[in-house]
Amino acid sequence: MGQRVDELLAQARRAAPLAGRRGEDSLLLAKAQGCRVYDADNVAYLDLLGGGGTNLLGYGNQYLLDAVRRASTLGLNAGFHAAAELELVELLEELLPAFLPWAITPSEGEAWELALRWCRRDTGRRQLVVFDGNRRGAVEAFHVTASGPLGVSQPLVAGIPAEVARLVRVVPWGDVEAFTNVLAEVGGDTAAVVLDPIAAQFGVIRPSAEFLKAVSEGTRKAGARLVLDETLTGFRLARGGAGESLGITADVAVFGGVLGGGISRVGAVAWARSAGTTPGDELPGPPPPISILAASATLSVLRNETVHQRLEERGAQLQAGVEALAERYSRPLRCTRVGSIFACAFSRQPVVDGNSFARVDQETWGRFARACREAGVLLQGRSPAASFLSHAHGDKDVEQALAGFESALKKLQKEDQH
C-alpha cells in the first residue's frame, strides 16, 4: 500500500478499530467517481462492492448531485416531514402500484421495527419465522441461529437476550418440508414469515418456484403476514424489485439500500394495497430532506426501462466471463447471479443452501480476493457474499474486472505449483 494509506490504517487501528479492520479488507475511501473508488494515495480500484448494494447508479451521478444541491438550499435538518416526501411517495406508487400506504423512515432498522411491530399487532401473535439464508442487517431478532428441532433458535452474537431468540424460528433455506413442519408447530402463534428473496446470507440464490409457492401459501394458511425483505433487491432487480422480478406477493415489504441512492441512509415500509391497512400512530421520526430528494432522484432515473436492461446485460457478461475463466484454469470458481447482484465462490458443488455454503473454500477465496485487489479490482473479503454491478459499469469495465480475475487466478496457479 502507499505511504499515506499505511499512515491512516495505523491511526485507525489505534483510534477506530472498526474503520481500520474494514479499511484493511477493502480500503479507506478518499473519493469515488462512476464505478471506481480511490484511496488516500489516489490509487484507483474498480468497485464491485457497490456500497453494500446502495450505489445502483454509480458514484457521483449527476441526478443525485443535483438532489444534494437542492437539499442544501432547503435546509438539511430533520424534524419535519418534507413536502418533497409526497413527491417521493407518488413515484413509489407509480413503480409499485400494488403497495399503499408507505412509511418513509430515517433508516432500514426503523423500517424493520415498524414492519414487525405492525405484524404482531395486526395478528395478535408473537413468533417470527425466518430462513437461515436471510440477510440479518440491523435487526437484532434476525441475529439468531437454529439450535434444536423445528428451528428453535439461540442468539448468534453475545449481547442478544435469549428471550429475543425464543420468539424466532429458523428454517433451512429452500426446505419446503421443514417450513411446513415449523408452521405446523408454531403457526398459530406466528405473526410473520420474513423472506429475503435471494438468501443474501449465502451470497445469491435464486429461489425455486416450488419454494416460493410453499412460503406464500403456507404463510397465508397459518394466518401470518408475509414480509418481503427488499433492502437489497428493491429497485435493483427490477423497478418493482424482487416482487416483480420473482413474482412474490407480500403483505408487507421493507425497502432501503438503493432507495437512498448511496447518498443517504433511508428506509421504507409498504403495505399491500388490497389489505387497506393503516400503519398506526407509533411511526418513527421523519427522514432528513437529503434522503427524500436522493430517493426521488434515484427513482426518477429508474423510470427509464433501459437501466435494468443494461444491468442485466453487464451481469450476464460478468457471469459468462467468470465461468469461462473457471474452465480455462480448471478451478471450481462458481458465479451465481440474479440481475446485477452476483456472488462468486470456490466450491466443488453449487451453493444452494446452508450445507453447501459451509463447504465453500474460504482460504482460497481470501487469496483470490487479495490478488484481485492487487490487480485493481475490489471484491468481498468473504465468500460468497453478494457483490454488485452499477449502471456506471460498462462493458469495458466488466472486461477489466475479468482481467483482474484472470490475473488473480494466474497468481494462485503459480503459488500452488511451489
Phi, psi at 224, each rounded to 5°: -95, 175
- Helices 62-74 and 289-302 cross at an angle (nearest 10°) of 150
Dist CA 346 CA 360 (whole Å): 6
Q: What are the boundaries of each domain within the chain?
A: 3-61+305-416, 62-302
Count Cβ atoms below 10 Å from residue 65 Cβ, excluding itself: 13
Distance (Å) of CA 367 to CA 318, 335, 383, 409, 415: 20, 17, 11, 10, 10
pLDDT digits (tens, 9 = 90+) for 50-96: 999 999 999 999 999 999 998 888 776 667 788 899 999 999 999 99
User: What pLDDT tens digit does each residue of the chain (418 aa) get?
Assistant: 678 877 877 887 888 887 777 777 778 888 999 999 999 889 999 999 999 999 999 999 999 999 999 888 877 666 778 889 999 999 999 999 999 999 999 999 999 999 999 999 999 999 999 999 999 988 888 999 988 888 898 999 889 888 889 999 999 999 999 999 999 999 999 999 999 999 999 999 999 999 999 999 999 999 999 999 999 999 999 999 999 999 999 999 999 999 999 988 899 999 999 988 877 777 788 888 899 999 999 999 999 989 999 999 999 999 999 999 999 999 999 999 999 999 999 999 999 999 999 999 999 999 999 999 999 999 998 899 999 999 999 999 999 999 999 999 999 999 998 7
Q: Look up the CATH architecture of domain 3-61+305-416.
A: Alpha-Beta Complex (3.90)
Q: Which CATH class, in words, describes the domain spanning 62-302?
A: alpha beta
pTM greater than 0.85? yes
pLDDT digits (tens, 9 = 90+) for 228-268: 999 999 999 999 999 999 999 999 999 999 999 998 889 99
